[in-house]
Amino acid sequence: MLRAMVAATLADGVIDAGERQRLDTAVAEAGIDRDGRAWLDRELENPADIDEIADAVNAPEAAARIYAAARLAIDLDTVQERQFLKMLGEALDVPPEAAARIERELAG
């Protein structure tokens, strides 16, 4: 999920303060140690692409969680972020109605 979050935050080429805070919070909540922080720094320099993320997923429930994590990481305030999320949903085979439900849950 963290790889998807990192990739989503970098979709538009810029990590704003809110996105960085959400990443830092996710890392802290996951209990990631100093080595994990080093991994995050490396991932920020070279994020996974959509295919890499999707190839690691083998269950619809996991796909929905990864999609939701990516959506939670960003504000969807750029065309690039919206396009990334759309392409991620397609690569993960998240049905449009499930993506819409996730959007409603996160918005409300």
pLDDT tens for 1-56 read: 889 999 999 999 988 888 888 888 888 888 877 777 788 889 889 999 999 999 99
**Residues 6+ positions from 80 with CB-CB distance below 8 Å:** 11, 12, 13
**Residue 27 has what pLDDT?**
81
- Measured at the CA of 73, the angle between CA 47 and CA 80, to 5 degrees, comes to 65
